[in-house]
Structure 1
């Protein structure tokens, strides 16, 4: 029975490309239009068929990690690209997916109720893993967020440097300004703003590992007098700052806490201050987090729609002075991370085990394919208390900070077109 239901579901879902499915009883079923791309999947456990029917989004990742589902050539990228490409348009959201998504949206408030204690536990789950792990796939500055690719063949180090420069340009920094970094990671952004732009920076994080490494890095760089870090929740902060920056942290706030988040940004921002919120976003209506990601990678996390961010921001009284959308930049960042992760698989296996390697490979590939084939992007929301806090044209962002690089990018549009394929 479960085999029949699964085949009916896949017949409705896979319309472009080809999915060939081998079942434990020896039966073979093909779905799609018979054209490329073609992916062959083998289900090795009879019980897995029913699990795929009942909760495909959770079970697919679990089956790959546990090895009860294999892909010919281990073509995980091909499988996830095929599935996501067939679901991104909305027309493929057949009845069974609509029901599942509706239930998840109904329950997401409880899943994203991130109190101070729960937020700390969520951060510990992901960010307090071995620092050696992150050294094996991130850039030397440990920037664990989207890079900014001015050219598609920029290195990961170039893209992350350009990301920080782009954000600094939007902050309109002047030497001596006070900056708050909400969700400061391993300290790279804070150290850059102090060293290269003369700011005095306070970074806050809930990660024990990130906090300890950030303090060490500030001391090693001789910047402890201008950069400090605190292990605390942003909601407990007081004072005023000339600038506020938050990169890759808003995804952990949770929809029920959006009004509280933007109200706190306004409270902490000086009257003539500027804030820059950098977050993964969805170019689609509000939804719910993939259950596999919630269970294994980012508990309490959620990728917001722009409408959700904007609704909460509007109630805070802050001015939206610039909103920028980055599209393929995170797909390209993740491709670099995945390449480094796979190249260091033996070292990562020694840190953890084979299951961890398969789980994190699934996470990185699924994330890349979601940005490349799905409706996921990055939002940079620049906010201020005053309407005239920033210049009235955007020239100060690109033309002033990196005119040579921007000119170089304009000369190579063909390479961008090719990279988007």
Structure 2
């Protein structure tokens, strides 16, 4: 039985214009070894599952599986099956990175898979998950040092990389549109609508002392300062900190916006409001209590917390919370998506904070991701010019499509939450 490789990728995408090399992408270049018995069982399970899905899966020349739907072309069936046999869904993603399969409608294919994720593997075999699923590396635990390393692996890749597909606000979280579907011209306004709703939930206005946990590139802090608030924003990304400060100065808000390299656990002081956008997903389940205790500790009496959080169904979260996935290995090390119930229960168990408002926007995130993905693909030449190679581009395209599929299928959702001390109405 193969043991999944849970080591962090060793690639340094900058200045790696050459084709995929073993040093940059070792688990993409090398097709894993797999015993004949394991390969045979995996092939039976995979082909049985694919043949029942509303897809058309071309397994090499002449073989077509599925009941009809988006076309998935498997160019190297043996390698494709061996990767999944050895590493499950990590192997599925690595096979795409290796260009062993393709789909014109990549999001469509991944959406079908997401819609059927709980039934792809027969129930009796699902109970054997703990014997073959990869475990999360201890090095990716979100200790103070681990969290900093995890954040840097994603957010410090390159500010210019993110600028190739984000709108001018450089907002890297779900927008809220006035109608769906949307187009690129609406994204900036939709991001401001999202920010304004969060600031309203937090009660941010003239003179508000606002703490932002997770800066991004500064748009929320700048917009809060324009309301007359005094903003302290903390981040673990040096790249984001520097760009956010530049943008605050350009907006004339440098006297109202302070951005610091600081772990949320180290924040001191009291604030009238706390806003944190898609930060809890990077905290790690074992630190959720500490995260909510921090919110409670720094919030002044009568203050409000406003969160934007990606969520999944509670039962699904429990089933997968210890699993190491393709997203962990290549995109967001150390992350785990919470459920609404987990957040509410954690807050109740560890703090005086109580949920007083909750609104979901899942379809809006699917649309946001579609616009980012299309923009990223359109700007492939710009990504190349920054020194990122073709494997990186396939990885990033897969990540954006994979995430979009999660929201289109309903597997994932995103919520705006308001919390107040003891659930006091605001």
TM tier relative to shorter chain: 0.7 to 0.9
Report the secondary structure of 1:198's partner residue: coil
- What SS is found at the alignment partner of 1:302? coil
Is contact 2:74-2:80 (8 Å) kept? no
1:297 matched residue in structure 2: 331
3-state SS of 1:320 partner = strand
- 5+ residue gaps in structure 1? 391-421
Is the 8 Å Cα contact of residues 274 and 389 (structure 1) preserved in structure 2? no
> Could you tell me how far 1:104 is from its partner in structure 2?
8.5
Does 2:119 correspond to 1:85? no
* Residue matched to 1:359: 395
Q: Within 5 A, what are the aligned runs for 1:249-398?
A: 249-285=279-315, 286=317, 287-288=320-321, 291-315=325-349, 316-351=351-386, 352-390=388-426
TM-score, structure 1 as length reference: 0.84
Deviation at 1:324, TM superposition (A): 1.8
Rounded to whole Å, the distance in 1 between the matches of 2:106 and 2:325 is: 18
Normalised to the residue count of structure 2, the TM-score between the two structures is: 0.83
Indicate the residue corresponding to 2:155 in structure 1: 127
Q: 1:180–1:202: 8 Å Cα contact kept in structure 2?
A: yes
Q: Report the Cα offset of residue 46 of structure 1.
A: 3.1
Q: Deviations over 1:141-194 (max 9, x none)?
A: 111000001211361112101101111221122310100000011111011011
User: Residues 9-40 of structure 1: CA distance to partner in whole angstroms, max 9, x if unpaired?
Assistant: 331455331332424xx5x54433x3x31423
Counterpart Cα distance in 2 of 1:116 and 1:337: 31
User: Which consecutive residues of structure 2, in runs of 5 or more, have no partner in the other structure?
Assistant: 1-35
Superposition pairs of residues 6-405 of structure 1, within 5 angstroms: 6-12=43-49, 14-23=51-60, 28-32=62-66, 34=67, 36-44=68-76, 46-67=78-99, 69-71=100-102, 74-87=104-117, 90-95=118-123, 98-99=126-127, 101-102=129-130, 107=135, 110=138, 113-152=141-180, 153=182, 155-195=186-226, 197-285=227-315, 286=317, 287-288=320-321, 291-315=325-349, 316-351=351-386, 352-390=388-426
| Secondary structure in structure 2 of the residue aligned to 1:222 | coil
Aligned-residue Cα RMSD (Å) equals 2.3
- Residues 330 and 378 in structure 1, CA contact (< 8 A), matched pair in contact too: yes
Q: Secondary structure at the match of 1:64?
A: helix
CA deviation after TM superposition for structure 1 residue 336, in Å? 0.7
- Which structure is higher in helix share? 1
Q: How much has 1:375 moved relative to structure 2? A: 1.2
CA distance in 1, matches of 2:81, 2:260: 48
Q: Distance in 2 between matches of 1:179 and 1:58?
A: 40
Give distance in 1, aligned partners of 2:124 and 2:369: 30
The alignment partner of 1:335 has SS state of: helix
Residue aligned with 1:328, SS: helix
